[in-house]
C-alpha cells in the first residue's frame, strides 16, 4: 500500500493495512488522497494485461462476487482455467468453493455451472461414440451427440498417464551379470481413454535332467533347490510353481509406491 507525501508530492511506501485512502472535502480540495494519472494508468494497464493473458475480453457486466472477470483472470493466470486436472486433499466443501470437481465418473450438465468446463474439454461430436470420457450424453449417461449432459472419467483408485505414445529402449544387467535390452512402446491414448491394469510378461523355465531339474526365472519346484537346481540324484518333481513374489512384491493390483489424494478437475 502507498500513501501520498504532501512535502515531496510523491507516492511513498506505507504500512498496509494502516494506510487508508481519504475522501477530499470537495472537488477542488487538497485534503483527500490524491492520485496521479500515471498511478491510475498503471492500475488499469495491469488489469488489461492480466485480462489479455487470460484470454478474456471485458463483458461490460459490473464486477460482483461470483461474477468477476478480474477474479477469473487471476485464476487462469495461476494456471487453473477450466479443464485443469490436479490433486487435492481438501474437503468437499472447500473443493466446491475453489471450483474443483472430483473425477468420479459423474454425469454433469453441460450448461450452467459446468458450461466452461464442457467447452474446455469436450472432444467433439465426431468422437462421441468412441471417447473414453468427456462425451455428450442424456441424463442416464447414454451417448447422445445432442445430449445436454457429459460424462467425466472416474479417477478413483487409478493412476493418470500422459496422452500420446513414445518408444523407449532400456538396458539393464540381471543378478547373474547378463546384459539385457528391451524396446517398449508406451501408449497413453487420447484424453479420457481407459486402460485396464496389466503387467509385463514374467517368464521362467524348467528342464528335467538325470540328476534333477534345472530352473530359471520365476520357476521353482517343490524339491529342495540350490542355485536354481533340484537336489542332486533325484528325478522326482513334486510340484512346479510359477510365483512372481519370488522376485517382486505382489498384491491385488499393479501400482508403484504412492500416497493418495483426490483427483479433481477445475470448472
Q: Do both 165 and 210 map to the same domain?
A: no
Q: Please identify, among 77, 111, 131, the residue that sits at the C-terminal boundary of a domain.
A: 77
Beta strands in 78-195, from DSSP E residues, in sequence order: 85-88, 100-102, 107-109, 136-137, 149-151, 165-173, 179-187
Element (H, E) at 27: none
Widest pairwise Cα distance in the chain: 113
pLDDT category at 209 given cuts 50, 70, 90 is: low
Does residue 13 lie in a domain region? yes
Q: Do both 166 and 93 map to the same domain?
A: yes
Question: 9 or 154: which carries more pLDDT confidence?
Answer: 154
**According to the model, what pLDDT value does residue 226 have?**
45
265 burial type by CB count under 10 A (0-12 exposed, 13-18 middle, 19+ buried): buried
Q: Do both 264 and 242 map to the same domain?
A: no
Q: Do both 187 and 223 map to the same domain?
A: no
**According to the model, what pLDDT value does residue 211 have?**
63
Indicate the average pLDDT of the chain.
Answer: 80
Q: Do both 223 and 149 map to the same domain?
A: no
Does residue 46 lie in a domain region? yes
Q: Do both 156 and 264 map to the same domain?
A: yes
User: Domain limits at 216?
Assistant: 204-246
Q: Please identify, among 45, 62, 77, the residue that sits at the C-terminal boundary of a domain.
A: 77
Does residue 253 lie in a domain region? no
**According to the model, what pLDDT value does residue 178 have?**
85
Name which of 236, 218, 214 is nearest 227 in CA terms: 214
pLDDT category at 220 given cuts 50, 70, 90 is: low
pLDDT category at 257 given cuts 50, 70, 90 is: confident
**According to the model, what pLDDT value does residue 222 have?**
59
Q: Do both 32 and 107 map to the same domain?
A: no
Q: Do both 22 and 139 map to the same domain?
A: no
**According to the model, what pLDDT value does residue 107 have?**
95
Give residue-wise pLDDT tens across range 107-146: 999 998 899 899 888 777 777 888 888 999 999 999 998 9
Element (H, E) at 15: none
Domain count across the chain: 3
Q: Do both 137 and 187 map to the same domain?
A: yes
pTM of the model: 0.65
Give residue-wise pLDDT tens across range 15-47: 555 567 788 888 888 888 877 788 888 888 888
Q: Do both 102 and 159 map to the same domain?
A: yes
Give the Cα separation of 128 and 137 in Å (integer): 9
Does residue 129 lie in a domain region? yes
Does residue 254 lie in a domain region? no
Q: Please identify, among 77, 109, 144, the residue that sits at the C-terminal boundary of a domain.
A: 77
List, in order, residues 6 or more apart from 212 with CB less than 8 Å away. 223, 229, 230, 231, 232, 233, 234, 235
**According to the model, what pLDDT value does residue 232 have?**
47
Does residue 210 lie in a domain region? yes
Q: Do both 6 and 33 map to the same domain?
A: yes
In our burial notation (b when 16+ CB lie closer than 10 A, e otherwise), range 21-35 reads: eeeeeeeeeeeeeee
**According to the model, what pLDDT value does residue 87 have?**
93
Does residue 30 lie in a domain region? yes
**According to the model, what pLDDT value does residue 221 have?**
63
Cell of 215: 530352473
Cell of 148: 445436454
Give residue-wise pLDDT tens across range 39-96: 888 888 888 888 888 888 888 888 888 788 888 888 887 778 889 999 999 888 888 8
Q: Do both 265 and 160 map to the same domain?
A: yes
Does residue 209 lie in a domain region? yes
219 has a pLDDT exceeding 50: yes
- The residue whose grid cell reads 449417461 is 141
Amino acid at each position: 500500500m502507498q500513501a501520498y507525501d504532501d512535502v515531496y508530492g510523491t507516492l511513498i511506501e506505507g504500512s498496509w493495512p494502516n494506510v487508508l485512502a481519504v475522501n477530499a472535502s470537495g472537488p477542488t480540495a487538497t485534503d483527500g488522497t490524491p492520485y496521479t494519472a500515471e498511478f491510475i494508468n498503471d492500475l488499469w494497464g495491469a488489469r488489461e494485461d492480466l485480462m489479455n493473458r487470460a484470454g478474456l475480453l471485458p463483458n461490460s457486466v459490473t464486477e460482483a462476487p461470483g461474477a468477476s472477470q478480474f477474479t477469473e483472470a487471476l485464476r487462469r493466470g495461476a494456471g487453473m482455467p477450466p479443464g485443469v486436472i490436479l490433486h487435492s486433499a481438501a474437503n468437499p466443501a472447500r473443493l466446491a468453493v475453489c471450483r474443483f470437481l472430483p473425477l468420479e465418473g459423474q454425469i454433469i450438465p453441460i450448461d450452467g455451472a459446468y458450461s466452461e468446463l464442457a467447452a474446455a474439454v469436450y472432444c467433439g461430436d465426431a468422437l462421441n461414440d468412441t471417447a473414453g470420457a468427456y462425451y455428450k450424453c442424456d441424463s442416464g449417461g447414454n451417448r447422445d451427440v445432442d445430449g445436454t449432459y457429459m460424462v467425466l472419467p472416474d479417477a478413483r483408485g487409478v493412476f493418470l498417464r500422459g496422452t500420446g505414445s513414445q518408444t523407449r529402449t532400456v538396458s539393464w544387467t540381471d543378478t547373474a551379470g547378463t546384459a539385457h535390452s528391451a524396446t517398449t512402446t508406451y501408449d497413453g491414448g487420447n484424453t479420457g481413454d481407459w486402460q485396464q491394469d496389466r503387467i509385463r510378461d514374467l517368464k521362467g523355465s524348467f528342464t528335467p535332467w538325470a540328476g534333477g531339474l534345472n530352473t530359471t526365472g520365476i520357476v521353482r519346484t517343490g524339491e529342495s533347490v540350490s542355485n536354481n537346481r533340484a537336489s542332486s540324484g533325484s528325478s522326482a518333481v513334486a510340484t512346479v510353481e510359477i510365483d512372481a513374489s519370488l522376485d517382486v512384491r505382489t498384491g491385488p493390483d499393479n501400482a508403484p509406491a504412492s500416497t493418495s489424494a483426490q483427483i479433481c478437475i477445475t470448472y
